[in-house]
Chains A and B, each alone.
Chain A
């Protein structure tokens, strides 16, 4: 068997699975990035 077999996964499921983890991570990343400019403020 290889990854070229007929897909057994709905593409929507794959997108949702990635959004499930990327959205919270993006939120955390945003909260972090807004603190960094203070580093160059003095």
Chain B
């Protein structure tokens, strides 16, 4: 019986297939779902049209994004095992369907004046697309690039950061073209923007699921010897199931590492423009400081994206544990420098911020390779999905710490407003640093028997 279009068997690469076709397939998904970080453009448009005059517009327009991020973590954790078992094409098709459906449901909701449909569509349905899409190419990339897992997952996860770079100007331009922004902004223009973006992403993501292939079981890169790769390093040749992985201290130590690294980065990223204004706003015209703060936020976005590929690639020769020591240890020192120097040296402030955000991005992109090192490739996608719950927690924790403490210190002018928040970030990074130091190879009692790994039913990619 011929294999179905979505099955793993259907996409086993023929001999000679180029593994360099896999990163663009993964990027087709990640560059699309990274749109989530550009929600602000829709938030502004919805506030000015559909929710105009509503005193709760701020809270209401944040809901779709917040729900989407929660669903990202939950769906990655819940569906991770199924994604590993069914293969990347199935996962990419499901992700694309949910993500695109989210836009179409939102378009309908805006056009008929039912805001709950925007929350349901973009937040719930679209959020499931985010979670499944985020983990869909990870284990496949690791299997195609066993010699450079950090580079390969870095490329894909950089795409998630880069998705907002594309979506922000695209959304703004479509809103302007359809009359969803400006002095005469209308809800119909916002609905049309949702609709057109959904269609654009449907086409864009299709290349991902058409192009994706998994390597044959006996495939390996030319000249690559797994024995020399693992010698003397903290890289396991054994495999651990997702169910067992969450019983190991290594998983939870890495969970703490990721959670606190993300918390430290997202705290500064989420409030970037306000932080810049509080640090350097004195004596500058409102227009000047607004433009500069916009430039600061843009620069941080760039650092976030580039950090994902640069530091993750560096983890291949240097080792994952050592890289997280840099992200967390140097990150803590950079936060300390900002706290102590305040606004006395703008160049140092900018350099510190750039590195902090590059480490933030790198924490995401190095995690899959770290999981591969510790738990093998058997169910690395599912384990990664479970680890992403740390992101959901950090997504709440980071902004909460910075915003709550900044609001509580409203009376303090200048950098002093953030001193307490930054000290908390330093403490969290130090805790993460210690957690990373405690990570050791996984005990043999958690390893899967070799015969279970090679059976076709259990094969993953």
Residues of A whose CB lies within 8 Å of any CB of B are 1-9, 13-14, 17-18, 20-21, 24-25, 27-29, 31-33, 35-42
Contact = CB atoms under 8 A, between A and B. Distances in A.
Interface string B23-36: 01101100100000
B169 A35 contact: no
21 contacts: A2-B220, A3-B221, A6-B15, A8-B18, A9-B16, A9-B17, A14-B21, A17-B21, A17-B24, A21-B24, A21-B31, A24-B204, A25-B166, A27-B166, A28-B167, A29-B162, A32-B301, A35-B295, A36-B295, A37-B295, A38-B291
Contacts of B221: 2-3
B15 A5 contact: yes
Given A32-B165, A40-B292, 13 more contacts: A3-B222, A6-B16, A7-B18, A8-B18, A9-B17, A14-B18, A17-B24, A21-B28, A25-B31, A28-B164, A28-B168, A29-B302, A39-B299
Interface of B: 13-21, 24-25, 27-28, 31, 159, 162, 164-169, 204, 207, 211, 216, 218-223, 284-285, 288-289, 291-292, 294-296, 298-299, 301-302, 350
Given A27-B166, A31-B169, A21 B21 contact: no
Nearest to A37: B295
Contacts of B295: 35-41
* Secondary structure call for the A interface: helix
Given A6-B15, A38-B295, A39-B296, A28 B288 contact: no
B292 A41 contact: yes
Contacts of A29: 162, 165, 302
Contact of B18 (A1, A9, A31, A35): A9
Given A13-B21, A21-B31, A21-B159, A42 B168 contact: no
Given A17-B211, A41-B288, A42-B292, A31 B17 contact: no
B288 to A, nearest CB: 4
A8 B15 contact: yes
B309 to A, nearest CB: 11
Contacts of B289: 42
B345 to A, nearest CB: 14
Contact of A4 (B20, B159, B222): B222
A7 B18 CA distance: 7
Chain B CB within 10 A, most for which of A3, A18, A20: A3
A29 B295 CA distance: 13
B31 A35 contact: no
Contacts of B285: 42
Chain B CB within 10 A, most for which of A13, A17, A20, A31: A17
Contacts of A27: 166, 169
A2 B426 CA distance: 46
B294 A24 contact: no
A38 B294 contact: yes
Nearest to A11: B18
B21 A1 contact: no
Contacts of B165: 25, 28-29, 31-32
A36 to B, nearest CB: 5
Contacts of A24: 31, 166, 204
A41 B284 CA distance: 11
Contacts of B302: 29, 32-33, 36
Contacts of A41: 288, 291-292, 295
Contacts of A8: 13-18
A3 to B, nearest CB: 4
A31 B166 CA distance: 8
Q: List 10 A-B pairs, minimum CB-CB distance, nearest first.
A: A28-B165, A39-B295, A28-B166, A38-B291, A8-B16, A5-B16, A38-B295, A31-B169, A21-B27, A2-B222
B216 A20 contact: no
B189 to A, nearest CB: 20
B112 to A, nearest CB: 31
Nearest to B38: A28
Contact of B292 (A13, A17, A32, A38): A38
A7 B16 contact: yes
Contacts of A33: 298, 302
B20 A42 contact: no
B219 A1 contact: yes
Contacts of B24: 17-18, 20-21
